[in-house]
Amino acid sequence: MKIGVPKEIKIGETRVSMTPSLCRRCVSLGAKVLIQKSAGLSAGFTDSEYREAGAVLVSDAAKVWKSADLVLKVKEPLPSEYDLLQDGQALFTYLHLAAGPALAKILQRKNILGIAYETVEGADGSYPLLKPMSQIAGRLAIQVGAYFLQSQYGGSGVLLGGIPGTLPGHVVVVGAGNSGAHAVQMAAGMGARVTVLDLDTRKLELLDSEYRGRVVTLMSNPANLESCVADADLLIGAVLIPAAKAPTVVTNAMVSRMRPGSVIVDIAIDQGGCIESIRPTSHKEPVYKQHGVVHYAVPNMPALVGRTSTLGLTQATEPYVAMIVQRGVNAALAAHKGLAKGVNTRDGRITNEAVAKELGCA
Ligand SMILES: NC(=O)c1ccc[n+]([C@@H]2O[C@H](COP(=O)([O-])OP(=O)(O)OC[C@H]3O[C@@H](n4cnc5c(N)ncnc54)[C@H](O)[C@@H]3O)[C@@H](O)[C@H]2O)c1
């Protein structure tokens, strides 16, 4: 099997889908790895490390795509990559098709076997390939939010931890899953006042017992959201309905009642975002102001910490990639139900039910 690893081209992207260590493993299992030159540099991996691990270095992205049976990526293909996709090719990457109808059409037209990291399921129903990036995005959301709260960057000038004698900042996290729980952890660690809302009482119970009163847990309903959002210095959107477009949980009316210079970080932007006033931004221009509130909605936040993110992502993908190399893609999908849940497109069809429903092709 030939595995192609192109350099990521999304704005500000620094991750790579394969480390030299994973490359060595794939080569030892019999794969030929074609990696684009300098693909790993922004994550701290040099071309010579890949060469020593047995990869063939290729200068041109088109050559990587052309001869690969399986293209291993981090982010979804961008329009400039659409022509490079080869009919019938397998693609293993984040796809987020519910928020990307144009890409879904291309994958259908080219009969791509599109396996989305974000819908691969663990035995317990969890999403093991989404988890590490969500953990990173959750932790980063507080770091980024604290930065944009600073007066020089358009923020209200609130220090999240405060100092003795002043009120700490109020961080409100909507969604208590992987990203939300990690945002809560960082915010509490910085000494902020923290409120977290979810629909799932088990998640709230876990956080309640972990933080023993240091964090307020609330059911996510319009009344609770209205009062919390109005008082938030930093609002984090961290909801997910697997494979579906994110629901609008925080309305324009709620955002318009926030204090000027408060900050919103909508982590869920890759699934369309859960704040009504949100639209995607990029690492080049990460924020805009609406209703006097700073909005941050970068869909590839983990690229801010490319080294940690690459290591976190590839340690999660490695067992699946190894299985695909050992058995071949189709046999691996037949043998592993959780991996098969990752298949979003196949033979010109959208095969994931939630994605198909979202795109109106169910
Ligand atoms: N922007 C980025 O760079 C980046 C990086 C990683 C992950 N993400 C995205 O972050 C989002 C969250 O991922 P996750 O792994 O934390 O998901 P998760 O499934 O672990 O958690 C989502 C939580 O949202 C809750 N929820 C659903 N509807 C809700 C509502 N109406 N109100 C409150 N809570 C609600 C669920 O009960 C669940 O606890 C996803 O869209 C994911 O793709 C974005």
Cβ atoms of 40 and 20 within 8 Å: the answer is yes
- Longest Cα–Cα distance of the chain, Å, equals 64
| Residue 175 beta carbon below 6 angstroms from any ligand 1 atom | yes
pLDDT digits (tens, 9 = 90+) for 30-74: 999 999 999 999 999 999 999 999 999 999 999 999 999 999 999
Backbone angles phi, psi at 130, to 5 degrees: -90, -35
The answer to whether residue 96 is catalytic is yes
Backbone angles phi, psi at 12, to 5 degrees: 75, 5
Measured CA to CA, the distance from residue 289 to residue 44 in angstroms comes to: 34
CA-to-CA distance for 22 and 55, rounded, in angstroms?
11
In 10 A of CB 246, how many CB atoms? 24
pLDDT category at 244 given cuts 50, 70, 90 is confident
Specify the fold of 2-120+305-358. Rossmann fold (3.40.50)
Across the chain, what does the average pLDDT equal?
Answer: 97
Put simply, whether the predicted model's pTM sits higher than 0.85 gets the answer yes
**Cα dist from 346 to 28, 113, 114, 130, 286, whole Å:** 29, 5, 7, 21, 34
CA of 292 to the centre of ligand 1 (A): 25
Q: Is 128 in the pocket of ligand 1 (CB under 6 A)?
A: no
Query: Locate tokens 């997910």: which residue?
Result: 240
CA distances from 140 to 44, 111, 157, 159, 285 (A): 20, 36, 19, 16, 17
User: Hey, how many other C-beta atoms are within 10 angstroms of the C-beta on 33?
Assistant: 24
> What is the assigned CATH class of domain 131-299?
alpha beta
C-alpha of residue 127 to centroid of ligand 1, in Å: 11
Q: Is the CB–ligand 1 distance for residue 316 below 6 Å?
A: no
Total H helices, total E strands in the chain: 13, 15
CB atoms within 10 A of CB 200: 13
Examine the residue annotation and report whether 69 is marked as an active-site residue of this protein.
no
CA distance 122 to 128: 6
Contact criterion met (CB below 8 Å) for 281 and 296: yes
Summarize pLDDT for 246-270 with one digit per residue, the tens: 999 999 999 999 999 999 999 999 9
Nearest residue to 351 via CA among 112, 34, 175: 112
Q: How confident is the model at residue 243 (pLDDT cuts 50, 70, 90)?
A: confident
The two tokens of residue 321 are: 């990639």
Mean of pLDDT values over 121-128: 95
pLDDT in tens, 83-92: 999 999 999 9
Pocket test for ligand 1, best of 130, 228, 264, 358 (most atoms within 8 A of CB): 130
Is the Cβ atom of 220 under 6 angstroms away from ligand 1?
yes
311 CA → ligand 1 middle, Å: 22
User: Rounded to the nearest whole angstrom, what is the distance from the C-alpha of residue 342 to the centroid of ligand 1?
Assistant: 17
CATH 3.40.50.720 range(s) for the chain read 2-120+305-358, 131-299
**What span, in angstroms and rounded, lies between the C-alpha atoms of 313 and 117?**
10
Does ligand 1 lie within 6 Å of residue 239's CB atom? yes
Q: Take residue 240 and report the two structure tokens written for it.
A: 């997910």
